[in-house]
Homo-oligomer: A and B are copies of this chain.
Amino acid sequence: MTKVERSSTAEAVLGILDLNGGMSGYEVRKFMEESTANFWSESFGQIYPTLKKLLDDGLIKTEETDGGGHPAKKKYRVTDAGAARLQEWLTIPARARVPRNEFLLKLFFGGLAQPKEMRAQVEAWKTVAETDLLRDEPLLKELQMKFGKGPGRPIDYPPLPYWLMTLRYGIAEAKMTVKWCNETLAELKKLDDDYVKRGV
């Protein structure tokens, strides 16, 4: 009867557009990959239809292209109605959906495989977290430098404090994951030893 279960794709696009003034669909995606990749991403197959819908609903408007350049590059900007919609959405409590984690599912069934298989899975997972850290920790420092309260503070980008919060979340998560992986690998080693002992 009632709709329920709406996704937040429209708001994600609207928000990026609001933060960064006039952007094309391509640029929205690129910005997401550089900033929200740890917790939100959209494919072009979602972005372009979403832009069309936002336009139809009057939440964004087109801007003139810069004439020369790439084919049919369209730029969008949020309208007052769009900004209002966004602000309203920000006050609604976020829904907590359990994300599916295929790695943890495999580990849960680990007793059905040989311990060394699971060690390989955990090692791979650890590598992913370490790679994230290698990208996010330098990024945090870079952004903090731009923002820094110190004397040479070059630019003032208001959304930055919030960007940093989400970035710190990603870093804390990755660190926690690496730590847990190490503990889990030690335990798997023990199980493996027991397994071999029993096997022989």
**CA–CA, A19 to B158, complex, Å?**
52
CB-contact partner of A105 in B39, B83, B96, B124, under 8 A: B39
A86-B109 contact given A93-B121, A121-B94, CB 8 Å threshold = yes
B-facing residues in A78-118 (Cβ within 8 Å)? 83, 86-87, 89-91, 93-113, 117-118
Q: Kindly state the interface size class of chain A when it binds its partner.
A: 35 or more
Fill in one digit per residue for A157-200: 1 if any B CB lies within 8 Å of its CB, else 0. 01101110110110011001001100110010001000000000
Distance in angstroms from A165 CB to nearest chain B CB is 5
Binary B-proximity of A37-77 (CB < 8 A = 1, otherwise 0): 11111000000000000000000000000000000000000
Cβ A36 vs Cβ B96 within 8 A = no
What are 5 A-B pairs at a CB distance below 8 A?
A15-B108, A19-B109, A161-B187, A165-B184, A168-B180
Which residues of A pack against B, CB within 8 Å? 8, 11-12, 15, 18-19, 35-41, 83, 86-87, 89-91, 93-113, 117-118, 120-121, 124-125, 128, 158-159, 161-163, 165-166, 168-169, 172-173, 176, 179-180, 183-184, 187, 191
